[in-house]
Amino acid sequence: DSGVTQTPKHLITATGQRVTLRCSPRSGDLSVYWYQQSLDQGLQFLIQYYNGEERAKGNILERFSAQQFPDLHSELNLSSLELGDSALYFCASSVTSGIENEQFFGPGTRLTVL
Amino acid sequence: GQNIDQPTEMTATEGAIVQINCTYQTSGFNGLFWYQQHAGEAPTFLSYNVLDGLEEKGRFSSFLSRSKGYSYLLLKELQMKDSASYLCAVSGGSGGSYIPTFGRGTSLIVHP
């Protein structure tokens, strides 16, 4: 158990819908990262937040958005869902903002878009 | 852009040694990660190399050659539980970006 929690564990929805994935970092970690892992694309970095502020942005679609709240939990919002958005979404956390720091991954949310 | 190559699959015998290679082409380089990921589970951090050379951590070692754009993960005294996917990721791009780019992973199968 990494100490990072993600909810829900599984999510099944339809195309065009909007969903919110939630992540709580390890106690004391200020940085949160979101990743998408699909069979055809592998693991891809989406976005990083540090202490409430966006720190780095990767291959995140405009239909996706994220935020980190004052209590440091983070949410990833996915809208106008498409079949290709079906994937495992991981959240990770680390103590500081430097990406070289060890990241601890949550168990992931498996999103299925039908 | 960044390109990372690693073998798709490798097999080895319990108790043996296996080396998983990773080659990369990037416009900038800040560091290289190795992660282990068991099927259906989250990745777990194994190592982070910034400087050339070998870093040993128990049964696992990671090597980096920045001039050759090459790294390997060495697993000794293989155990059945080492069967997993091993992901190589490079941090760094234009402008010194720290955004990591992951390879597709090497699926390691350990046989008794």
Return the minimum-mean-pLDDT range out of A96-100, B5-9, B26-30. A96-100
- pLDDT for res A2: 85
Q: Is there a contact between A100 and B50 if contact means CB atoms under 8 Å apart?
A: yes
> Which of B86, B102, B104, B106 to probe by mutation at the A interface, max A CB count within 10 Å?
B102
- pLDDT for res B97: 60
A58 inside 8 A of chain B by CB: yes
pLDDT digits (tens, 9 = 90+) for A81-95: 999 999 999 999 998
Cβ atoms of residues B2 and B24 within 8 Å: yes
Confidence of residue B107 (pLDDT cuts 50, 70, 90): very high
Mean pLDDT of B82-90: 96
Cβ atoms of residues A92 and A45 within 8 Å: no
B23: pLDDT strictly greater than 60:
yes
Residues of B in contact with A44 (CB under 8 A): 102
Residues of A in contact with B87 (CB under 8 A): 42-43
Looking at every residue in chain A, the average pLDDT score rounds to 93
Beta strands in chain A (DSSP E): 5-7, 10-13, 19-24, 31-38, 42-50, 53-57, 64-68, 74-78, 87-94, 104-105, 109-113
How far A85 CA sits from the closest chain B CA (Å)?
A: 18
Mean pLDDT of A50-79: 94
The answer for B110, left when phi > 0, alpha when psi is -120 to 50, beta otherwise, is: beta
A105 inside 8 A of chain B by CB: yes
Task: Count other C-beta atoms under 10 Å from residue B40's C-beta.
Answer: 9
Task: Count other C-beta atoms under 10 Å from residue A61's C-beta.
Answer: 14
Q: Is there a contact between B100 and A99 if contact means CB atoms under 8 Å apart?
A: yes
Residues of B in contact with A99 (CB under 8 A): 30, 91, 98-100
Count chain A–chain B contacts defined by CB atoms under 8 A: 47
Alpha-carbon B57 to chain mean position? 14
Query: Over pLDDT 70: what percentage of chain B?
Result: 94
Mean pLDDT of B63-76: 97
- pLDDT for res A52: 94
B97 inside 8 A of chain A by CB: yes
Cβ atoms of residues A113 and A14 within 8 Å: yes
A72: pLDDT strictly greater than 80:
yes
